[in-house]
Amino acid sequence: MSVQIGNLSFDRVHYDRDADVLYLHRADPRSAVDFDESPEGHALRYNAAGELIGVTIVNARWLLEQDGKVTVTIPERFEVGAAALDEALAAA
**pLDDT score of 65 more than 70:** yes
Burial code (b: 16+ CB inside 10 Å, e: under 16) for 64-85 equals eeeeeebebeeeeeeeeeeeee
- Tell which wins on pLDDT, 48 or 5: 48
Output DSSP code: residue 80: -
Q: Report the C-alpha gap between 62 and 20 in whole angstroms.
A: 8
Are 23 and 16 spatial neighbours (Cβ–Cβ below 8 Å)?
yes
Domain containing 23: what range? 3-91
**pLDDT score of 16 more than 80:** yes
Measuring CA to CA, how many Å separate 53 from each of 63, 81, 89? 22, 22, 31
pLDDT value of residue 14:
87
Output DSSP code: residue 66: H
Work out how many domains the chain is built from and give that number. Answer: 1
**pLDDT score of 92 more than 50:** no
